Each structure stands twice: as structure tokens, then as C-alpha cells.
Amino acid sequence: MKFKYIAYAVVLFTALILSACSKKLDQFPQTEVSDENFWKTSNDLKLAANYLYSFLPDIMVDKLDDAMSIDAYATSPNSVSDGSWLKPSTSDIWTNNYNLIRACNNILEKAVNVAGEAEEINKYLGEAAFFRAFAYFELVKRYGDAPLVRKTLLLDDPELFAAKTDRAAIIDSIYLDLDNAALKLPSAGEQPQGEYGRITSTAALAFKSRVALFEGARQKFFNYGSYQSHLQIAIEASSAVMAAGDNALFRYNANPDSSFFYNFQYVGEGKSNPENILVRIYGENEVNSISANGYSRDGLLSPTRTIMDAYLYKDGLPIEKSPFYKAQTNTYTEFENRDPRMAMSVFNKYSFYVYGNYVPTFQYAPTGYRSCKYFISHDWAANESYIDNIIIRYAEVLLNNIEAKFELNGSVSDNELNETINLLRARVNMPALTNSFVSSNSLDMRAEIRRERRVELAFEGMRYWDIIRWKTAEDELPHAVVGAKYFPDEQGQLDNPQLTPDGFVIVQNASGRRFNAQKDYLWPVPTKELGLNVNLTQNPGW
């Protein structure tokens, strides 16, 4: 591995942070400075910390992670999803995360020279610790073992050619950094209005619950390590967020029953929304702009048959058990009497689109479906959007908590369900999940907890990583990608469509999809990195 030596020049001043009220980007001159002239005041430290925010996941990449699962499809087959991927020569994911780690290490080291209020200095140190943990989790969830570097490296440092560090040690370092961040940063409730968008202790704890659940589940289902300790950490971190009382599910008072939908619209942005714990902010409009994104026009995913069939009916029963199920006679039939999150996540012919109701089509949506989370009709017409990318929201914290409790104890109480999943269900007027309901309907509690996560977080970039940590990717990904039922009078004619026996469009045949459980649960290390560092080793099977 080669860590690039980056001068502080442009790096420190290409900052991305904003004011919550105006959503204006703090502009700083891109001027070269030396260490002798920098690292003097807490404002210098803030400028350095601002740069870290440019590494927050971009919505155009982050949400498209779902195309690596079988719940969504982009405009063409995904090589990770169908198993056709090859070892890359280089990887922006590898390079960018190590660049972020270097920037964090630099801040944490140089801060000893900074004069100012200890509380303010500690805040930026907490931000650096959070981002270092964030970067390492992005690496470890993909590559497993990876070089662990917790100091700034120069060109002649032998650590430039370090071997991989065991993932257990990396996870421990992530916990250490997140604990440090949680101690130094203000909570969501303490954060000033004008600092919305900066990292809080709440974000550190919420992210810790994500990391710990991932590692705990992975250890349990891959049968290694001590999964119980990680699941306990996930429970404690998520419980701390829940107990603090600073966060809650978003309620849109003008239309409460559609609060779930509006959480992903402009009215759901800003500090007034207690659900969004960490977001990447793009700005407000052309005047108050940080950077626009094209998600409303170019980033929307095509949902597949598997996610559509996962939505419950309004009686809380799945498609194979509910008396509300009926055979489709048009494109809207499957939306009738379903969990309202279905129609709030996927367009149907009664959804408003750009200039009128949505027309179901295969022309721009290969599966015949189109996701509507984050879609803004005005932004489609303008071909640019300023909708924030929600990276962590309170709903995930609730889901992390209940899943960790179930996987640790093998059961959950009705009270625990009421504190988590049933809050999500109540928001959309779905019946509560209870142990007696599961038992009397011959359901499986683990499956229902996972289902709730699947539909609540659909098209938010989470599904692929869930099936990786559950070790179910080998069962799910090799199946054919199937889309909507074919109704040419509504959707338009297709040339020689390939259909299932019951009339659903096959987007990609199972024969073109595979998953090698011996290698595909870890990503390949970029070959150029192996050439630069002879002590690096490739992941098994690659």
C-alpha cells in the first residue's frame, strides 16, 4: 500500500461545511500555507476539520449501493450483484478512505500546537476521530483485514509498507475513536442551530451501533470471534441514543400519515427534523449552493420483484398469507391494501411525477418500477437537486437495537418491539408486531425483524451490506432479477420480452448471475496497491 503524501495547500481549504439556517458554504481561499503559519488557532483547526466533510458519502454513489443487492437494479447489470466483477487495478474507495485517514491523523497530531478554548479544540478532535472511524469501517466491511495506520506517514516511513492488520484490531480502533468522539462532541440536543450538519456525539453513538451490529452479526453467521460482545455494544450504543430523548421519528404535521415520505423531501431537512442524525448537505438552491446532485433524474433505482413482494399487507401479513392478496389485473393492483411505505417508496400510476401522474414504463426503469425516495419533481425539471443525503437516521438506530437484542438473546419482548419496530409501523398506520401475532400466524420473528429493516430502509444503500453480514448473499444473489408484471396497455410494448410463467418481466436471467461464497464476501484489494506494497496480500479466492 502506498499512502500519498499530500501537502496541506489546497486540501485544508476545500472545506465543506455550512450554516443550518442559510445553508451557505463557508468559502475559504485556496492558498498554500506551511505548518509554520498554520495550526495556530482553533479556527485553523476548524478549517482543517471542514475538509473532512467532503468525504461524507455522495448521494449519487451511496444510495446506488442497493443495486449490488437483488432488491434494486440500475440501468444495467451490476457486476458485484451478478458476480461478474474482476480484480480492479485501482479503487477510489481504497484510495479516498486512506486519504481521509491521513487527514484525520494529521489533525489529531497537529492539534497540540493549537491555542484556544479547550472545548472548541476538543470538538474538532472529536470530528477527526469520528471520520477516522468512518473511513476504517468503509474499508473493513469491504476488505476485512487492512493496514491500520494511526499516525501521519511521510515518504520514508517504513509503515508505508505495512502488512494488513487483523479486522478485530481495526474494529477495536473504530470503537476507541467513536468513544473518543462521543466524549468530545455535543449531543444532537446541545448542538447549536447554526452548526447543523456537523458531527455530534449522537452521530458517533448511532454509527457505533451500526458498526457493532455489522461485526456482531458477521461473527455470528460466519462462526468466528465473540459475536456476543459486539451485539452488546450495539445494544448499548443504540440504547444510549434512544434514552437521550434528542431524536424521534419525523412527523410532518401538514400530512402526518405521509411523514415517512416527507422525511426524504425538502420539508424533512434541517435541525427541526429529529430523525436525521447525520446528513451530507448539498445546499438550498442555486444561490445557497454547496454542490448540486442529480439524484432526482439520474440516481433513482429500479426496484425488483423481491422487494415488492417483501412489503406486508395492511393486516401485517406477508403476500403468501394475507387474505388481502389478489392476482394483479393492472399495474396498481399490488399496491392495494399494502404497507403504505410501498407507495411512498415506489412510484405507481397515482403518484405525482413531474408534470402529472407517473406512467409505469420500462423505458427508463428496466424493472418497470422506479423508486421515489428523494425524488423532487421540480429538481427533475431543473436537472439538479439540493436534497440532503441522509447517512444515519433514527429509524436505523431503532432497527439496530431490536435486531441486536434478538440475535443476542434469541427472542425479544413485546415491550422491546413497542420501543422500536412498532414506532416505525405506527407512523404508517401498520399493525404492531407482537410475539403472539408471530406465533399465531406461523411467522418467524427473525424474518419479520429483517423484513422491517428491508422495507423501512429500502433504497437507502443498506441492503447489500445486510445480506453480506447475515451470510445470505450466496442464497439471494444468484437468482434471476425479475421486475413488474407485464401490462403492455399501461407500460408500453416491449420488443420480445422475456417473461416468467406468471407474466413478470425477467431483467437478468439466473444463468448470468453467480456468487462464490469462498471469495465474494470480501472485496479484492486493488492490484496496484499489491504492486506498491509487497507486504500486502490479496483476499482469498481473488
Task: Find the angle CA(238)-CA(240)-CA(241) to the nearest 5 degrees.
Answer: 65
Output the nine-digit C-alpha cell for 277. Answer: 442524525
Q: By C-alpha distance, which of 300, 318, 321 is closest to 309?
A: 318
Q: How far apart are CA 137 and CA 148, in angstroms?
A: 11
Beta bridge partners of 62: none
Taking the CA atoms of residue 125, residue 129, residue 131 and residue 135 in that order, the dihedral angle to the nearest 10 degrees is 150
SS3 state at 94? helix
For residues 307 and 491, give the distance between their C-alpha atoms in angstroms, rounded to a whole number.
20
The set of residues, in sequence order, having a beta carbon less than 8 Å from that of 281 and lying 6+ positions away, is 18, 23, 197, 290, 388
CB of 259 closer than 8 Å to CB of 361: no
Distance separating alpha carbons of residues 401 and 410, to the nearest angstrom: 14
Are 526 and 90 in contact, with CB atoms under 8 Å apart?
yes
DSSP per position, 160-213: GG--PBPHHHHHHHHHHHHHHHHHHSPPTTTS-GGGBTB--HHHHHHHHHHHHH
**Strands, E assignment, 52-183:** 72-73
Q: What does the pLDDT read at residue 354?
A: 92
DSSP 505: E
Chain centroid offset of residue 438 CA: 29
Residue 506 CB neighbour total at 10 angstroms: 16
Q: Which of 232, 230, 99 has its CA nearest to residue 167?
A: 230
Residues 6+ apart with CB under 8 A from 386: 266, 282, 283, 284, 285, 289, 292, 293, 379
Residue 392: strand, helix, or coil: strand
Q: Which residues are bridge partners to 163 per DSSP? A: none
All cell numbers assigned to 340: 403504505
Nearest to 430 by CA among 451, 402, 460: 451
Helix axes 227-244, 394-409, angle to 10 degrees: 140
Query: Rounded to a whole number, what is the largest CA-CA distance in the chain?
Result: 73
CA dihedral 373, 376, 379, 380 (to 10 degrees): 70
- Report the candidate in 85, 427, 2 with the shortest Cα–Cα distance to residue 249: 427
How many Cα atoms sit within 13 Å of 68 on the Cβ side?
21
Q: Could you tell me the three cell numbers for 98? A: 486512506
Give the residue among 119, 135, 117 at the shortest CA–CA distance from 53. 135
**Collapsed DSSP state (helix, strand, coil) of residue 426:** helix
Q: What is the pLDDT along the chain (542 residues), one digit of tens a residue?
A: 333 323 333 333 333 333 333 332 233 333 445 676 789 999 999 999 999 999 999 998 989 899 999 999 999 999 999 999 999 999 999 999 999 999 999 999 999 989 989 999 999 999 999 999 999 999 999 999 999 999 988 887 888 899 999 999 999 999 999 999 999 999 999 999 999 999 999 999 999 999 999 999 999 999 999 999 999 999 999 999 999 999 999 999 999 999 999 999 999 999 999 999 999 999 777 667 678 888 888 888 999 999 999 999 999 999 999 999 999 999 999 999 999 999 999 999 999 999 999 999 999 899 999 999 999 998 988 888 999 999 999 999 999 999 999 999 999 999 999 999 999 999 999 999 999 999 999 999 999 999 999 999 999 999 999 999 999 999 999 999 999 999 999 999 999 999 999 999 999 999 999 999 999 999 999 999 999 999 999 999 99
Cβ–Cβ under 8 Å, residues 306 and 70: yes
The answer to whether the beta carbons of residues 384 and 293 sit under 8 Å apart is yes
**Cβ contacts of residue 145 below 8 Å, gap of 6+?**
164, 165, 166, 167, 170
Torsional sign, CA 262, 138, 201, 199: negative
Output the CA torsion sign for 169, 212, 405, 200: positive
By three-state DSSP, how is residue 92 classified?
A: helix
Q: Tell me, what's the pLDDT at 27?
A: 32
Q: Give this prediction's pTM.
A: 0.93
Contact by Cβ (8 Å): 160, 146: no
Q: What three-state secondary structure class fits 377?
A: helix
